Amino acid sequence: MQAALAEKLRGIDSVQLGEQPDPAPAAGQALIRVHAAGVGPWDIGFLSGGFPGIALPFVPGQEVAGIVEAAGEDADVQPGDRVYASLFPAGGGFAELALASADRLAPMPDRAGFEEAAGLVVGAGTAHEGLVDRGSLRAGETVLVTAAAGGVGSAAVQIAAAMGARPVGVASPANHEYLRALGASDVFDYHDPDWARQVLAVVPGGVDLLFDCVGGQTMDQAVGALHDGGRVISVIPPFGSLRLERAITGESFGAHVDRQRLEALSHLVDSGQLRTQLEAVLPLGQVREALARVAGGHTRGKIVLRIV
Ligand SMILES: NC(=O)c1ccc[n+]([C@@H]2O[C@H](COP(=O)([O-])OP(=O)(O)OC[C@H]3O[C@@H](n4cnc5c(N)ncnc54)[C@H](OP(=O)(O)O)[C@@H]3O)[C@@H](O)[C@H]2O)c1
């Protein structure tokens, strides 16, 4: 099979197209003919050696959509099923064939094509876990989303709106209309040093939940827009509890996207409440260009590779 692979982990330029033996599914695994694979900042992290213990050559790609080619024993799927899957952390998605654990895949939403489905897995999966399970977001609450225009943030704004909450976003001015169209009630420009105070002007008393996809100074500023006793959920390492003032509680977490999570996303997509926002779909041969665009840090929605 053809794959994008890295013989060493020295950044985006380590990736080249090459041939690999076709993988065979073990028990509990499905072999997927990959039609599309999402690209995200985590791929650059893997290629830069940010995740220890990676076997070489390494095929990046942690989220795919495609058609089941073969199933191992006890994998509850059939050849011909249209599925989307998380491959984290083994990767292997930037290839014609990929192995997925059967408990980390689900039937594709009826209302999504391969590109849209592939682009949902990690971003929307992370947003759903963060808002629903970890953040306990409730209808009527206000949630502030940083990096709201990115892959995780674009999904978070839509999921929060679907839950009956009020999402407010943080993004560059060029993305403000885009985020209002996704359901954000108000959007703020993080380049303005005063932006957190502006949030307090439109949310008197302060927001209930911060869903942070940036960390660092942006997260510190965003915490200032919470009310006393508010909550913070961040997706930026290091993972664990956050020590915060004013009785604000919080944690940073690494997402675990499993079958139940994907089924919940499918329900949102098929009920018209969640769509993947595709900035670009590129062929596998342009894998380095796709990675470089993601590394630029200003993706609107998702960049996806078309593989078949
Ligand atoms: N913990 C986990 O399980 C997990 C899972 C997925 C992702 N992540 C991490 O979460 C982060 C976001 O992922 P992603 O896929 O959404 O990335 P992404 O799509 O590459 O995010 C791009 C967005 O980031 C925005 N941005 C950049 N700097 C910003 C700042 N200082 N303040 C506000 N927005 C800023 C840009 O907004 P503008 O263009 O509007 O400036 C752009 O729209 C990454 O660090 C990723 O590694 C963690």
219-231 pLDDT, tens digit each? 999 999 999 999 9
pLDDT of residue 13: 96
From residue 250, alpha-carbon distances to 111, 160, 242 in Å are: 35, 18, 5
What's the pLDDT tens digit per position in 65-92?
999 999 999 999 999 999 999 999 999 9
**From CA 11, how far away is CA 70, in angstroms rounded?**
33
**From CA 77, how far away is CA 182, in angstroms rounded?**
33
Q: What is the mean pLDDT of residues 295-308?
A: 96
**From CA 91, how far away is CA 163, in angstroms rounded?**
31
Pairing label, strands 207-212, 142-145: parallel
The candidate with the shortest Cα–Cα distance to 147, out of 113, 200, 189, 106, is 189
Residues in the chain: 308
What's the pLDDT tens digit per position in 153-181?
999 999 999 999 999 999 999 999 999 99
Question: In testing the pocket of ligand 1, which one of 189, 211, 235 has its CB within 8 Å of the most ligand atoms?
Answer: 235
pLDDT of residue 291: 98
Residues with CB under 6 A from ligand 1: 40-42, 122-123, 126, 146-147, 149-153, 170-172, 175, 190, 213-214, 218, 235-236, 254-255, 294, 297-300
Q: What is the mean pLDDT of residues 104-132?
A: 98
Q: What is the mean pLDDT of residues 57-69?
A: 98
Work out the pLDDT band at 52, boundaries 50, 70, 90. Answer: confident
Domains of the chain: 2-120+276-306 (3.90.180.10), 123-252 (3.40.50.720)
Three-state SS for 61? coil
Q: Tell me the average pLDDT of the chain.
A: 97
In the predicted model, is pLDDT for residue 298 greater than 90?
Answer: yes
Three-state SS for 37? strand
Burial class of residue 272 in the structure, from the number of CB atoms within 10 Å of its CB (0-12 exposed, 13-18 middle, 19+ buried): exposed
pLDDT of residue 266: 98
Percentage of residues of the chain with pLDDT beyond 70: 100
Helices assigned H by DSSP within 70-226 = 114-118, 121-128, 151-162, 176-182, 195-202, 216-223
Cross-strand bridge partners of residue 20: none
For residue 226, the CA-to-ligand 1 centroid distance in Å is: 20
DSSP 177: H
Question: In testing the pocket of ligand 1, which one of 63, 159, 214, 219 has its CB within 8 Å of the most ligand atoms?
Answer: 214
Residue at 174: amino acid letter: A
For residue 40, the CA-to-ligand 1 centroid distance in Å is: 9
Work out the pLDDT band at 308, boundaries 50, 70, 90. Answer: confident
For residue 23, the CA-to-ligand 1 centroid distance in Å is: 32
For residue 8, the CA-to-ligand 1 centroid distance in Å is: 26
Percentage of residues of the chain with pLDDT beyond 90: 99
What's the pLDDT tens digit per position in 238-297?
999 999 999 999 999 999 999 999 999 999 999 999 999 999 999 999 999 999 999 999
Q: What is the mean pLDDT of residues 97-120?
A: 98
Cross-strand bridge partners of residue 95: 3
pLDDT of residue 174: 98
From residue 302, alpha-carbon distances to 37, 73, 116, 189, 281 in Å are: 10, 34, 9, 20, 9
For residue 79, the CA-to-ligand 1 centroid distance in Å is: 35
For residue 282, the CA-to-ligand 1 centroid distance in Å is: 20
Check: CB of residue 218 under 8 Å from CB of residue 192.
no
Whose alpha carbon is nearest atom 11 of ligand 1?
213
Cross-strand bridge partners of residue 101: 29
